[in-house]
């Protein structure tokens, strides 16, 4: 339920940001395209990272439960392998490729504005942090 609510909040904030951009001067289309490219691209990267880390951590926790004391030396190498496998996750790579393709398309058609891409990225990051802090407070109050 929280995932749907969080997604609706993110989409509502995007609409509010687009309405707020109408009051700025200049090329509105360029601003909206760059803001959306930064926002959606970064959101996809964050979602892909979350699912990749979540899957790897749950797999490693299952392995740690069965790990015996004589296998503790292998654990250091296992941490290195964990980092490599998380970095090379298919969804994570696809999210970065999609984000780069969006940026290259904006550059190719001369619509790229770094300021609005950064604003989109920062907006997405701040919203994700706010939503996660609300979720953590809600979970701690329920316990």
Sequence spans of domains, the chain: 29-61+78-137
Say if residues 124 and 46 touch (Cβ distance below 8 Å).
Answer: yes
Q: What pLDDT was estimated at residue 56?
A: 79
Q: What pLDDT was estimated at residue 122?
A: 93
Say if residues 111 and 33 touch (Cβ distance below 8 Å).
Answer: yes
> Which pTM was predicted?
0.75
Q: What is the pLDDT along the chain (143 residues), one digit of tens a residue?
A: 467 777 778 778 877 777 777 776 656 778 888 988 999 999 999 888 888 888 877 877 777 777 655 555 555 556 666 566 656 678 888 999 999 999 999 999 998 999 999 999 999 999 888 888 888 888 888 86
Say if residues 14 and 36 touch (Cβ distance below 8 Å).
Answer: yes
Say if residues 106 and 37 touch (Cβ distance below 8 Å).
Answer: yes
Q: What pLDDT was estimated at residue 67?
A: 67
């Amino acid at each position: 339920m929280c995932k749907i609510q969080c997604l609706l909040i993110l989409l509502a904030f995007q609409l509010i940001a687009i309405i707020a951009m109408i009051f700025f001067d200049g090329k509105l289309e360029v601003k909206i395209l760059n803001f959306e490219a930064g926002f959606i691209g970064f959101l996809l990267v964050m979602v892909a990272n979350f699912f990749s880390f979540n899957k790897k951590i749950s797999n490693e926790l299952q392995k740690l439960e069965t790990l015996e004391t004589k296998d503790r030396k292998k654990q250091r190498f296992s941490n290195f392998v964990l980092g490599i496998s998380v970095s090379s996750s298919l969804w994570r790579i696809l999210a970065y490729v999609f984000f780069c393709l969006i940026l290259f398309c904006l550059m190719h058609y001369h619509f790229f504005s770094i300021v609005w891409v950064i604003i989109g990225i920062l907006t997405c990051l701040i919203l994700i942090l706010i939503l996660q802090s609300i979720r953590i407070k809600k979970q701690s109050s329920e316990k």
